[in-house]
């Protein structure tokens, strides 16, 4: 193994809650409730696909693609307003230490996120210099479980996919890693992420994973 590719939301930083609150606010404006159980379906998928799921939850049909784009843009404005004041306190426990450990052991690191705000968020957190490559939603088109975002990161690192490990918190992300020929560490519930080679309950446990034994 030569490289580790990180998802962003729920792995490096706790911005997933802001996406949820943005969708929840939009749903309320559209006349229905969107709760945390519904939000599980949005993990790892693109903005437009997330909107389609939200509309499905609300039983809403009939919007044109142009109208859908306006709704997605509205939600993104809410999200950007919420993360404007984000700082290093939002970095998930153990992540700085894990990144340092990887560097000391000679691993390359990359971000592989569907979020179009990926680079901006890393800059706000002061973590952008810790990643050799940053691939976010501005560089890819196909959402997870398509492996495009991870394959793109591997290509930019110059590392074969089979020598990369992905760190993910979403089932779609685990599936994307495997579709790209990569191994995966899942963060969260083993009942949901059980396809991953290793599942840890939280980010602090990453520092105890033996990467060479995956």
Mapped onto helix, strand or coil, the DSSP state of residue 6 is strand
167 appears as a binding residue in the annotation: no
CB 171 within 8 A of CB 41: no
Strand 183-187, strand 3-6: pairing: unpaired
129 appears as a binding residue in the annotation: no
Instruction: Report residue 84: phi and psi, to 5°.
Output: -55, -35
7 appears as a binding residue in the annotation: yes
User: What are the start-end ranges of the E strands in 93-205?
Assistant: 108-112, 133-135, 164-168, 183-187, 198-200
169 appears as a binding residue in the annotation: yes
CA-based nearest residue to 36, from 12, 67, 4, 10:
10
77 appears as a binding residue in the annotation: no
87 appears as a binding residue in the annotation: no
Cα separations (Å) of 63 from 53, 54, 59, 68?
13, 13, 12, 6
How far is Cα 15 from Cα 9, in angstroms, rounded to an integer? 5
Geometric angle at alpha carbon 22, from 20 and 26, rounded to 5°? 115
23 appears as a binding residue in the annotation: yes
8 appears as a binding residue in the annotation: yes
105 appears as a binding residue in the annotation: no
- Residues forming the active site: 7, 9
47 appears as a binding residue in the annotation: yes
Known binding residues are 7-9, 23, 42-47, 50, 75, 144, 168-169
Known binding residues for substrate are 7-9, 23, 42-47, 50, 75, 144
Known binding residues for Mg(2+) are 7, 9, 168-169
């Amino acid at each position: 193994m030569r490289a580790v590719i990180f998802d962003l939301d729920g792995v490096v930083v706790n911005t997933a809650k802001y996406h949820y609150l943005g969708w929840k606010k939009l749903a309320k404006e559209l006349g229905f409730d969107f709760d945390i159980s519904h939000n599980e379906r949005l993990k790892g998928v693109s903005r437009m696909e997330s909107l389609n799921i939200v509309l499905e939850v609300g039983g809403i049909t009939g919007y044109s693609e142009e109208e859908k784009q306006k709704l997605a843009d509205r939600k993104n404005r809410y999200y950007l307003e919420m993360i404007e004041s984000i700082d290093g306190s939002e970095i998930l426990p153990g992540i700085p230490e894990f990144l340092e450990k990887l560097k000391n052991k000679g691993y390359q690191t990359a971000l592989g996120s569907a979020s179009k705000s990926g680079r901006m968020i890393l800059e706000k957190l002061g973590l952008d210099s810790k990643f050799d490559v940053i691939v976010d939603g501005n560089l890819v088109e196909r959402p997870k479980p398509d492996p495009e975002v991870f394959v793109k990161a591997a290509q930019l690192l110059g590392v074969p996919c089979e020598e990369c490990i992905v760190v993910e918190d979403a089932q779609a992300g685990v599936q994307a890693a495997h579709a790209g020929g990569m191994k995966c560490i899942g963060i969260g519930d083993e009942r949901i992420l059980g396809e991953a080679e290793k599942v840890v309950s939280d980010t602090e446990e990453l520092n105890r994973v033996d990467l060479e034994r995956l």
